[in-house]
Amino acid sequence: MERDNRIFDIIEREHQRQKHGIELIASENFVSDQVMQAMGSCLTNKYAEGYPGHRYYGGCQVVDEAEQLAINRVKELFGAEYANVQPHSGAQANMAVFMACLKPGDKFLGLNLSHGGHLSHGSPVNFSGLMFEALEYNVKEDTGLVDYDQMEEVARRERPKLIIGGASAYSREWDYARMRRLADEIGAILMVDMAHPAGLIAAGLLDNPVKYAHIVTSTTHKTLRGPRGGLILLGKDFENPWGKTNPKGELRKMSALLDSAVFPGVQGGPLEHVVAAKAVAFGEALQPSYKDYQAQVKKNAAVMAQALVDKGYKIISGGTDNHCMLVDLRTKFPDLTGKVAEKVLVEADITANKNMVPFDSRSPFQTSGIRLGTPAITTRGAKEELMGDIVEMIDTVLSNHDNPKVIADVREKVNKTMESYPMFAY
Ligand code: PLP
């Protein structure tokens, strides 16, 4: 068969875009060669519905080993008693938890989407908001911090069955212990979606939600630096509080409910090539150099946030404890939307995304903010010194957003700078 040059040319162009640009999307990263190799392997050819040792297809004895390795490694990484590594994405992992813990129409409580929450935590256009009754808590307008008092007030009044912690655009540590006390008080399940900070948590740089929450979900491709995918963890398995039984009438543990919710509940055959790549990434995360990488991600983010503040930008909550920050553009450029900021930055080969800020006066299509993160640029070997230069370049582009010549000059500088940074430096 002829080589499909059309698609491989596209892939090469994307490779060049990634190589020559400054990647600041907080949810992205660059994987190692061995993660990439596992993903592009013959494991993609294999059907393996079920779980290691209990499959619905023959010939699974080898992929069983890969999946078991992924499970064992991620359990070690986060100190979990149970892991499911099959969710195809973070949203699928969350969907499986909803399926295991709730019935359609049940109430649950998550962070307001426009305050940093994720679509799968209750957006009206997502399965979570369409099939269940979504309640929300906010961040405080003055501090930008999660409003735990309000969370408690809503939870005590509405008595949701599930409380969700975790976010897509929140730069501060969470009070998981307080959330667990609240869940226990009202008889709810606490789920923490650690998709964003999972890598920092794995490296011990942030508190580990597995110690507090009933259930923890994550993606594997953000700070964690694995292939695109999801996972579910239990710190400790527990009897489900809703009396769900198996066909033999036996009460099922939460681990069994979650396994059935992932397959056959919301997915068919697992992507064993991606599961193998997850195993590789978890193995990398258990190496000492991973701690150095994550420490640098955190340091770079803190320096970048401070450099932005020094230039007159407002960072929601004033700074960052993790890998990301949400910039409210209105203090410096009242007329510049996040949409335009994203566009002109992309023209300068600096990739970031527009994002609503809490209590935003603009729509989700325009927004007043941008979200920035350091996982990807740090994988390329960037240290604190580069953060000041990056902020300088961002500021030049935004201050000259209607000047194509200045933007082109910055692009040249970006491309030149990135020549000295390999795609994977750790
Ligand atoms: N949960 C959180 C907190 C996220 O930020 C995201 C993605 O950005 C997801 C879940 C969903 O992950 P995926 O895009 O893999 O479905």
Active site residue 47: yes
Q: Ligand 1 mean position to 312 CA, how many Å?
A: 31
Residue 345 has pLDDT above 70, yes or no: yes
Q: Are 263 and 270 in contact (CB under 8 A)?
A: yes
| C-alpha of residue 216 to centroid of ligand 1, in Å | 13
pLDDT value of residue 387: 98
- Copy the structure tokens of residue 337: 């939307």
How many C-beta atoms surround the C-beta of residue 268 within 10 A?
A: 10
Is the model more confident about 12 or about 246?
Answer: 12
Note the pLDDT tens digit of each residue in 382-423.
Answer: 999 999 999 999 999 999 999 999 999 999 999 999 999 999
Residue 304 CA: distances (Å) to CA of 57, 142, 337, 346, 358: 50, 22, 21, 18, 21
- Choice among 19, 49, 173, 409 that is catalytic: 49
> For the sheet containing 82-84, what is the strand order?
82-84, 230-234, 215-219, 189-193, 162-165, 107-111, 133-137
pLDDT value at position 407? 98
Summarize the annotated binding site for (6S)-5,6,7,8-tetrahydrofolate as residue ranges: 113, 117-119, 363-365
What is the tens place of the pLDDT at every residue in 249-308?
666 899 999 999 999 999 999 999 999 999 999 999 999 999 999 999 999 999 999 999
Rg (CA), the chain: 22
* Shortest-distance Cα residue to atom 5 of ligand 1: 168
The pTM is what?
A: 0.97
Query: Looking at residue 247, what is its pLDDT?
Result: 60
pLDDT digits (tens, 9 = 90+) for 373-383: 999 999 999 99
Q: Compute the CA torsion angle 388, 393, 395, 398 (nearest 10 deg).
A: -160
Q: Please, what is the average pLDDT of the chain?
A: 96
Return the closest-CA partner of residue 222 out of 144, 285, 289, 305.
285
Measured in angstroms, how far is the CA atom of residue 282 from the centroid of ligand 1? 18
Q: What amino acid is encoded at 138 in this protein? A: N
Active site residue 222: yes
Q: Which residues line ligand 1 (CB under 6 A)?
A: 27, 89-91, 118, 120, 166-168, 193, 195-196, 219, 230
User: Which parts of 248-337 fold into alpha helices (H)?
Assistant: 254-260, 272-285, 288-310
Residue 426 confidence (pLDDT): 84
- State percent of the chain over pLDDT 90: 96
Residue 170: band (very low, low, confident or very high) from pLDDT cuts 50, 70, 90: very high
Q: What is the pLDDT of residue 424?
A: 95
Whole-number Å distance between alpha carbons of 51 and 99: 18
* pLDDT on residue 249: 66
Q: How far apart are CA 156 and CA 163, in angstroms?
A: 12
Establish whether 49 is a catalytic residue: yes
pLDDT number for residue 252: 82
Catalytic residue among 67, 217, 219, 278: 219
CA 229 centroid distance within chain = 10
pLDDT digits (tens, 9 = 90+) for 106-157: 999 999 999 999 999 999 999 999 999 999 999 999 999 999 999 999 999 9
240 falls in which pLDDT band (50, 70, 90)? confident
State percent of the chain over pLDDT 70.
98
Q: How many CB atoms lie within 10 A of CB 366?
A: 14
Q: How far is 278 from 86, CA to CA, in rounded Å?
A: 10
Distance (angstroms) between ligand 1 centre and the Cα of 290 equals: 22
CA distance 195 to 179: 18
Degrees to nearest 5, angle at CA 223 with 228 and 206: 140
- Please give the pLDDT value at position 243: 64
Binned at pLDDT 50, 70 and 90, residue 248 comes out as low
pLDDT at 241 over 80: no
Q: Whose CA is nearest to atom 9 of ligand 1?
A: 90
Buried b or exposed e, range 39-77, using 16+ CB within 10 angstroms: beeebeebbbbbbbeebeeeebeebbebbbbbbebbbeb
CA 81 to chain centre: 22
